[in-house]
Amino acid sequence: MSSSDLITDRLVLRPWSTGEVTAVLDGVRQDHWADDFPSDGDRVIAGVIAETPDALGEFGQRLIIERSTGLAVGAIGLFWPPGDGRVEFGYGVVASRRGRGYATEAALAIVAFALAAPGVDEVVATVELSNPASARVLENAGLRRVSTGADTAEYSTA
């Protein structure tokens, strides 16, 4: 673990390494990944990181590591830098680890971390209306719905 890791009761949220990004993009399995990691969303995030190397910084994207096994079971991160005091975050947990509260635990940690960061007054996330479980994660992490579009809803700490 490093000083930039966020540690919760059951998880470690740690920045991706460049090797992990490359492995995801190249489809090379790693021993420290859950069997169903990476998901499609993890591949998207790896692509974002590859195009925006700053996403590997302290305020960027992180892997969700299950402390009991040491396996990567998802990803979470901030889309840095904040604009007008707002920063967005996104997350995903692989199917084999859903229903355990990991997404909420990780979201609570990243929201608290973001709100303590310089220049951040508000943390937001967008969820597809077809994904009520993700909406519950945001609500359980202290965000509330502030707007609803045709297919998505925005949640905020403000």
pLDDT in tens, 16-61: 999 999 999 999 999 999 999 999 999 999 999 999 988 988 999 9
Distance CA(129)–CA(111), nearest Å, equals: 21
Q: Are 126 and 96 in contact (CB under 8 A)?
A: no
pLDDT at 1: 59
**Would residue 135 count as lying in a domain?**
no
Could you give phi then psi for residue 67, rounded to 5 degrees? -60, -35
What is this structure's pTM? Answer: 0.95
Q: What is the CATH number of the domain that holds 113?
A: 3.40.630.30
Q: Which helix (H) or strand (E) holds 150?
A: none
**Would residue 92 count as lying in a domain?**
yes
**Would residue 144 count as lying in a domain?**
no
Count of domains forming the chain:
1
**Would residue 131 count as lying in a domain?**
no
Q: What is the mean pLDDT of residues 2-24?
A: 94
**Would residue 134 count as lying in a domain?**
no
Distance CA(126)–CA(25), nearest Å, equals: 25
**Would residue 21 count as lying in a domain?**
yes
